[in-house]
Structure 1
Amino acid sequence: MADKQQVHIVLVGFMGTGKSTVSQLLARRLDCETIDVDAEIERREGRSIPEIFAHRGEASFRKAETAALADVLSHEERKVIATGGGAVLAPSNCELMLDSALVVALTADAEQIISRVSQDASRPLLQGDLRQRVNQLMEDRKHAYDFAHLTIDTSKLNAHEVVDKIVAFLQQ
């Protein structure tokens, strides 16, 4: 990893852990741009993520995700990058992130995640029994975020407290 003061910061973690909110606050604090990879995919593809999943399937979405992530990480100036929860499923994405960024994994317990995503119908992987799907996906991805340089449990923290922890890590 390059110098912590200059490098991109990539937020990874399960859906509902706060990546999008934290990325915006952190970018403001660090006076840099934030990029949400899911929003970048939607911009490039001209359709929403649920539409991509429905029309082209998860494999096609994952390819678009890798391409968007690689492009965003190629920028010279520092960015705070929020990834989708499944971006870590491809080992090549994890290597790409580790090579060009400080990777921060945000975690939360299942009850917090269920509470945070229960009103969001735009998450294609949560169709059906929400509690069962969240628990199954969390089990499937139990170690998927272990590669991160820093892990922060957001279950009992607000977004500002999470940002404070990341900034403190950067200043070490």
Structure 2
Amino acid sequence: MNKNIVLIGFMGTGKSAIGRRLAARLNREFVDTDEEIERITGKTIAQLFAKYGERRFRSEEALMVKKVASRENLVVATGGGVVLNPENVRLLKESGILILLTADPEVIYRRVKRKKNRPLLEGSSDLLSRIKELMEKHGAAYQVAEFTVDTGAHTVEESVEKILGFLREKYGIQ
């Protein structure tokens, strides 16, 4: 089985941290789509949003999804909004197994409150309310996943073990 393992979920759910650990355990290459966009454009996600707006960022994201979907045997951490584009979802599902990482809004708040690299949260005076609003708005889009792990209830290592158990049971991936 050469399908990619694709981690989706709201910002702050641990996609990058869990993805890196999962890739190491599966002996696969790890790709973080946001990091790749930053590398290719020479700008941070926040700079892309500030200079060109969300539309331009989403267009860069769609190009990156095409790139990773054309490859095999990857563990991919996606940006939180990647599933808002149906074409991204189609490509990622075609080439991979979608795993949703979730956490309660309060957990996400604790994880992201000091970070300044979250453009969708910028300018919000009530960060927790903004997180809840975005989670509600985007929630249905995440239902495309085959398996879900609540990273607020589990450590990184426990989350990785849960994903590995699912992959072994359903796909025979060791």
TM-score range, shorter chain: over 0.9
Tell me the amino acid that sits aligned with residue 141 of structure 1: H
Q: How is 1:129-168 mapped onto 2 (pairs within 5 angstroms)?
A: 129-168=126-165
Report runs of 4+ in structure 1 exceeding 4 Å deviation: none
Equivalent residues in 2 for 1:9-24, closer than 5 Å: 9-24=5-20
Structure 1, gaps ≥5 residues long: none
Residue identity opposite 1:52 in structure 2 = L
Find the counterpart in structure 2 of residue 48 from structure 1: 44
CA RMSD of aligned residues (A): 0.8
* Equivalent residue number for residue 108 of structure 1: 103
The equivalent position to 1:92 in structure 2, one of 76, 87, 92, is 87
- Are residues 1:26 and 2:14 paired? no
The amino acid across from 2:146 in the alignment is H
The farther-off stretch of 101-110 and 149-158 is: 149-158
Q: Distance in 2 between matches of 1:54 and 1:121?
A: 13
AA aligned to 2:47 is E
TM-score by length of 2: 0.93
- Cα deviation digits, residues 38-81 of structure 1 (max 9, x gap): 000011111111110011110010000010111012124x1100
Aligned pair count reads 167
Matches of 1:44 and 1:87 in 2, distance apart?
18
**1:15 Cα shift?**
0.5
Instruction: Specify the SS of the correspondent of 2:144.
Output: coil
TM-score normalised by L of structure 1 = 0.95
Find the residue that maps to 2:43 and give its secondary structure.
coil
1:142 and 1:87 map into 2 onto residues whose CA distance is: 12
How big is the shift at 1:32? 1.0
2 CA distance for matches of 1:66 and 1:74? Answer: 13
Gaps of 5+ in 2: 170-174
Tell me the amino acid that sits aligned with residue 119 of structure 2: P
Rounded Cα–Cα distance in structure 2 between residues aligned with 1:147 and 1:135:
20
The Cα of 1:153 is off from its aligned counterpart by: 1.2
1:152 aligned counterpart, secondary structure: strand
